[in-house]
Amino acid sequence: MVLSGLQDQLAPLKSWLFPRRVYLQLEDQAFTAMVLDGERVAWLERVPLPEDLCVNGQPTAVEALGDLIGDLLIERGFSGARVKAVLPRAATAWRVIAWPDARWPDQPEVVVRQQQDQLDLPWSLRDADLRLEPLIGAPPRSLLVVVQRALLETWIEVFSQAGVALDGMEPLPICLWRAAEPQLAEGVRLLLQLQEEKSWVLALDQGEPLGEWPLPALTELEALIPALHTFQRRFHPRAALVSGDEPAVDAVLPELVGALGCSVSWLEPHAEAPALRGLVAGDRLP
């Protein structure tokens, strides 16, 4: 009994000295939380959001959303945790940049901002934060990810309202790229993200992104299969990886294989949110 009481008294100090890391994937309809104990998943939960609390990646009620996140972390025993998050898909846009004159520029951000019209981005680069990830090969290229600065600031307010320490936010495309990397090999591969509301396909060549395109929802199989035929003819993939709701995807795997003309395997571990594993991988980079 004495030892138990001592442990209870030391728990707040332990939490302060060794705060747990909570990984969050933010979406319009829900957020997914994950905590690891080494490589073991100690907590994984998808929490639906009230309708219109987050629209197109933008929080519409900062106080309510922050309170929801903060209260959940307290209820699950992770008060005082440090948080790293994946931004909603709609919060970011990305392009592959081929640098002019086939050489790396001295001031890449300046060059990108001068290409506003050619990039066909949904927002003005004057009001956006940029992230450039170099890609291998020739000619020199980079993966450009753009996020609205005001949106970032709004998410920072949400986590401040939640009463947690925010260690950073990552774009969804980069997290998915990292998650798929261990399973990529030479040649073009497709990463299918199949959801009931909307689906996406990410094309990768030699492990590096070529582009990402929307697809019909998993529930719209009559439209989804012809769309996949189009990508098969365009890229001739050697293999495909898939993420999504396990029973629903398993039910249509033969149709996916037939449409793509290649093997289709799960993005591992397929029982988890793959973007969160990509976020963890980024967290562990030297």
| Model pLDDT for residues 73-122, shown as the tens digit of each residue | 999 999 888 999 999 998 999 888 888 777 888 888 888 988 888 888 88
What is the rounded average pLDDT for all residues in the chain? 87
The long-range contacts involving 269-275, CB below 8 angstroms and separated by at least 24 positions, are: 270/242, 270/243, 270/246, 271/246, 272/34, 272/41, 272/44, 273/25, 273/32, 273/34, 273/44, 273/46, 274/175, 274/176, 274/179, 274/180, 274/243, 275/25, 275/86, 275/172, 275/175, 275/176, 275/179
Q: Would you state the pLDDT for residue 48?
A: 94
Strands, DSSP E only, in 149-187? 165-170
With cut-offs at 50, 70 and 90, classify the pLDDT of residue 7. very low
Cβ count near 18 (within 10 Å):
8
Q: What is the pLDDT of residues 225-283, one digit of tens each?
A: 999 999 999 999 999 999 888 888 889 999 999 999 999 999 887 777 889 999 998 87
For residue 33, give both structure tokens. 């939380």
Tell me which of 208 and 255 has the higher pLDDT. 255
Report the C-alpha gap between 286 and 273 in whole angstroms: 23
- Give dist(CA 137, CA 115) in Å, integer: 22
The helix (run of H) or strand (run of E) holding residue 76 is none
pLDDT band of 61, cuts 50, 70, 90: very high
Classified as helix, coil or strand, 216 is: coil
Strands (E) in 171-285, as ranges, are 188-194, 199-205, 208-215, 239-244, 263-266
Question: What integer is the mean pLDDT of 180-203?
Answer: 86
Model pLDDT for residues 110-156, shown as the tens digit of each residue: 889 888 888 888 888 888 999 888 888 777 889 899 999 999 999 99
| Token digits of residue 9 | 């008294």
pTM of the model: 0.84
